[in-house]
Structure 1
């Protein structure tokens, strides 16, 4: 089915260049999906995306 199980997001912490590689992480996993590896999978995707986008501190 097309049910959303969870989500992750990267948000820059500041527009200042000194913080250019720093991002805030947001994570949500729905109650039905908890304990099933959904969060781990989402975090793996998020870390890979952060590296691609040039973030080095999360």
Structure 2
């Protein structure tokens, strides 16, 4: 799964790290990974109802 995450980053126009220094790149990478994870959860049915986040069950 780690290889897939790196492949997604490279395929989406992030072939190199955008900043100088390890702290800035670490922060960027964590935010980028969180954004990709959130987008994936939303595609799977994540919704916000009554002050709680819920994954809607899919009907086969």
Report the TM-score when normalising by structure 2: 0.38
Greater strand proportion:
1
Which structure's relative contact order is higher, taking Cα pairs within 8 Å and 6+ residues apart? 1
Greater helix proportion:
2
Structure of greater Rg: 2
